[in-house]
Amino acid sequence: MGILTIFLDRATNLKDKDTIGESDPYIKFELEQNNFVGDEDHGEHKSTTKENDLNPVYGETFHCNIPTLDNMELTVKVMDDDIVGDDKMGKCKIKLEKLGLSESPTPLREKVYNRVFGDDSYVFLTLTYTE
C-alpha cells in the first residue's frame, strides 16, 4: 500500500462555459486501476470552487491510499460549478506507472482542453508517491 500525493497548483486558459459572467471551475480527481478483468476504483477528490476565474490558483493537496502504481490511472476533470448541472470544461488521463513516481516531487503540466484558435487549457500538478 502506498500514498499518492497530488498538489494542485493552478489551471490556465480555461474555456468559459457560462453565458453570463465567467465559469466557476473546480477540479475533480478520480483514481482507477485498469485490470484485465474489471477495473477497480480507488476514490475521488474534489478541489474548492473558484468563482468567475478562468485562470484559478488552488494550492491544494490531496492524499490517496493506493495499492500500487501498476495500471493506475489518474483522471483529471475540470468542471464548471452550476446550479442546474455542472459542465465539463476539460479532461485528461495520466498513467501513473509510466511517470516513475517517488518521494521526489514530479511536476506535471497536462493539457485538458485543445483549442483550434487561442491558447490551450492546462492543469499544473505535482505528484509524489511513497510506499
Mean per-residue pLDDT over the chain, rounded: 93
Q: What is the pLDDT of residue 73?
A: 96
What is the residue type of 83?
Answer: I
Using a pLDDT cut of 90, give the percent of the chain over it: 78
pLDDT over 80 at 37, yes or no: no
Phi, psi of 99 (to 5 degrees): -90, -15
Read off the C-alpha cell for 129.
Answer: 508517491
Provide the 3-class DSSP secondary structure of residue 96.
helix
Q: Does 123 have pLDDT greater than 80?
A: yes
- For the ranges 7-11, 17-21, 34-38, 103-107, the lowest mean pLDDT is seen at 17-21
Contact 80, 17 (CB under 8 A): yes
How far, in Å, CA of 74 to CA of 91, rounded? Answer: 11
How far is residue 101's CA from residue 44's CA, in Å, rounded to a whole number?
Answer: 19
DSSP 100: T
Q: Is the pLDDT of residue 51 over 80?
A: yes
| Residue 115 burial (CB count, 10 A) | 11
Best CA proximity match to 109, nearest among 117, 121, 95: 121
Q: What pLDDT sits at residue 33?
A: 93
Predicted confidence band of residue 19 (pLDDT cuts 50, 70, 90):
low
pLDDT band at residue 71, thresholds of 50, 70 and 90?
A: very high
Reference 109, options 99, 118, 117, 54; nearest CA is: 99
Cell digits for 61? 493537496
